[in-house]
């Protein structure tokens, strides 16, 4: 009986302690790997969701605004029939139009383009018929009159169609319609291509600039310029 009591109370040996610690380490490592994997999956999903949400919001805003191209409430209310061009610049990567795009009863010129990897919109002064010498914004540079629509934009493309659904191919060096590119006040007298635009197809690609996978999303929207029909 005395021998059994002595054996039962002698405690753990060094080998037993090392084995126990090894088991705990393996269990801890497995739990950590599961947690780390779950965290990575969650972060990836969050980045992907942010990219998708940003792209959809930007495209929805641009689509809604561009539908109002050619709507001049202050002119219509004054009984003035506009004779000037509604689409000022139309290139594969930039679009400038005139109208009440913000639905605030006042028309202005709006430019949509890329400033680096940022999709921006710029608005110019309110215009009256023939008042283009007020120099609306035609250059996609940083300015106080612009706002950010989407960051981390990997691609922006505009394709133009006439009333019959035929694509209008620009005659400029880089596909600009009527040869008019951003950077200067466009020519409003030579307008055979821009005046035919009735539909614009927008393709927007947004890609997260961080993380090992960099989720990427491309969306397309068709805009009918209903005020020009």
How many whole angstroms from its chain centre is CA 199?
Answer: 19
Q: Tokens 């950077």 appear where? A: 183
Give the rounded percent of residues in the chain with a pLDDT score beyond 90: 38
Interacting residues of 184 by C-beta distance below 8 A, sequence separation 6+: 138, 139
Spans of all domains in the chain: 50-228
Whether the per-residue pLDDT at 47 is higher than 70: the answer is: no
pLDDT value of position 114: 92
The band of 11, judged by pLDDT with boundaries at 50, 70 and 90, is low
Give the rounded percent of residues in the chain with a pLDDT score beyond 70: 79
pLDDT, tens digit (0-9, with 9 covering 90-100), for 182-191? 988 888 888 9
Q: Tokens 């191209």 appear where? A: 69
**Which position has the higher pLDDT, 14 or 4?**
14
* Least confident window among 5-19, 96-110, 148-162: 5-19
Whether the per-residue pLDDT at 65 is higher than 90: the answer is: yes
d(CA 110, CA 69): 9
Whether the per-residue pLDDT at 127 is higher than 70: the answer is: no
- Rounded average pLDDT over 3-24: 68
pLDDT value of position 8: 52
Instruction: Say if residues 119 and 153 touch (Cβ distance below 8 Å).
Output: yes
d(CA 150, CA 202): 14
d(CA 210, CA 115): 19
Instruction: Say if residues 167 and 152 touch (Cβ distance below 8 Å).
Output: no
Six-digit token string for 158: 């505009």
pLDDT value of position 28: 78
**Which position has the higher pLDDT, 170 or 106?**
170
* Bridge partners, residue 205, by sequence: 155, 218
Instruction: Say if residues 200 and 212 touch (Cβ distance below 8 Å).
Output: no
- Rounded average pLDDT over 74-78: 80
Strand arrangement of the beta sheet that strand 108-115 belongs to: 87-90, 95-99, 108-115, 118-126, 146-150
Q: Tokens 């996609």 appear where? A: 140
pLDDT value of position 163: 95
| Phi, psi (degrees; rounded to nearest 5) at 66 | -65, -25
pLDDT value of position 96: 93
Interacting residues of 179 by C-beta distance below 8 A, sequence separation 6+: 170, 171, 172, 173
- Rounded average pLDDT over 77-93: 85
d(CA 58, CA 55): 5
Whether the per-residue pLDDT at 7 is higher than 60: the answer is: no
Question: 98: closest CA among 77, 119, 129?
Answer: 129
pTM for the full predicted model: 0.76
């Amino acid at each position: 009986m005395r021998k059994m009591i002595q054996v039962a109370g002698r405690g753990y040996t060094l080998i037993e302690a090392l084995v126990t610690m090894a088991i705990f380490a393996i269990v801890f490592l497995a739990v950590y790997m599961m947690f780390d994997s779950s965290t990575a999956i969650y972060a990836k999903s969050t980045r992907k969701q942010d990219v998708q949400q940003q792209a959809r919001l930007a495209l929805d805003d641009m689509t809604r605004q561009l539908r109002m191209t050619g709507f001049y409430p202050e002119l219509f209310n004054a009984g003035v029939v506009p004779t000037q061009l509604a689409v000022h610049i139309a290139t594969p990567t930039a679009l400038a139009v005139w109208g009440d795009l913000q639905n605030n009863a006042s028309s202005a010129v709006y430019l949509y383009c890329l400033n680096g990897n940022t999709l921006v919109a710029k608005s110019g002064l309110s215009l009256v018929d023939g008042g283009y010498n007020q120099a609306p914004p035609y250059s996609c540079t940083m300015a106080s009159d612009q706002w950010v629509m989407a960051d981390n934009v990997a691609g922006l493309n505009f394709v133009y169609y006439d009333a019959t659904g035929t694509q209008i191919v620009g005659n400029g060096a880089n596909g600009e319609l009527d040869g008019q590119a951003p950077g200067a006040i466009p020519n409003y007298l030579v307008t055979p291509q821009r005046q035919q635009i009735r539909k614009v197809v927008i393709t927007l690609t947004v890609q997260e600039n961080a993380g090992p996978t960099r989720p990427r999303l491309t969306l397309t929207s068709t805009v009918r310029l209903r005020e020009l029909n």
